[in-house]
Each structure stands twice: as structure tokens, then as C-alpha cells.
């Protein structure tokens, strides 16, 4: 199982916190959020962010509108994914 650092995200409207993240990326890779969810749930890969000197693991959450990704840093749910820049 490989662990990947997520360094960027893509949303349809990056400034709208209510829009879902559609893609995540890192050094040399970019995947849809659905692909990342599948990899995590099937124990193929793990993912994390490193924002403001803090590492946070990315986990799958089953929300009211379907599954989505969020980070867990020191057992506190944070929005580290939303703090990442737009993938190019």
C-alpha cells in the first residue's frame, strides 16, 4: 500500500465551500475524488495533506449527499483539503 501526499484540489468553483472537490493531485498524479475514495475504501492506497506544518490523513466520510473526503489531524476534523491550491 502506497501513501500519497495531496498537494492540490480541483472544484468547479474553488471559492465556494459548498461545492464538492472533484479531483485531488500531487507530485505527478491527479485523480478524481471517486477514485481516491475507492482506493482508500479498498485499502489500495492512503492519502494525506501537509498544511501549515501539520500532516493530516484523508479519510472517507459517508455524508447525507454521498461519500466525500476530509482530513483528520490529531483527531480533529479540519478543512485542510480546502486550504490547498487549485490543481493545474
pTM of the shown model? 0.86
Q: Tens digits of per-residue pLDDT, 17-52?
A: 667 899 999 999 999 999 999 999 999 999 999 887
Percent of the chain at pLDDT > 70 equals 86
Q: By C-alpha distance, which of 87, 70, 83, 80 is closest to 30?
A: 87
Q: Is the pLDDT assigned to residue 79 strictly greater than 90?
A: no
Q: Is the pLDDT assigned to residue 8 strictly greater than 90?
A: yes
For cell 501539520, the residue is 54
> C-alpha angle with apex 76: 73 to 78, nearest 5 degrees?
75
Q: How confident is the model at residue 53 (pLDDT cuts 50, 70, 90)?
A: confident
Q: Where are the domains of the chain?
A: 2-78
What is the per-residue pLDDT for 77? 56
Amino acid at each position: 500500500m502506497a501513501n500519497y501526499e495531496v498537494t492540490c484540489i480541483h472544484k468547479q468553483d474553488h471559492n465556494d465551500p459548498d461545492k464538492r472537490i472533484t479531483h485531488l493531485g500531487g507530485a505527478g498524479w491527479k485523480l478524481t475524488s471517486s477514485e481516491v475514495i475507492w482506493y482508500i475504501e479498498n485499502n489500495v492506497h492512503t492519502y494525506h495533506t501537509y498544511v501549515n506544518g501539520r500532516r493530516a490523513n484523508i479519510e472517507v466520510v459517508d455524508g447525507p449527499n454521498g461519500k466525500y473526503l476530509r482530513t483528520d489531524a490529531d483527531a480533529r476534523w479540519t478543512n485542510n483539503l480546502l486550504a490547498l491550491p487549485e490543481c493545474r
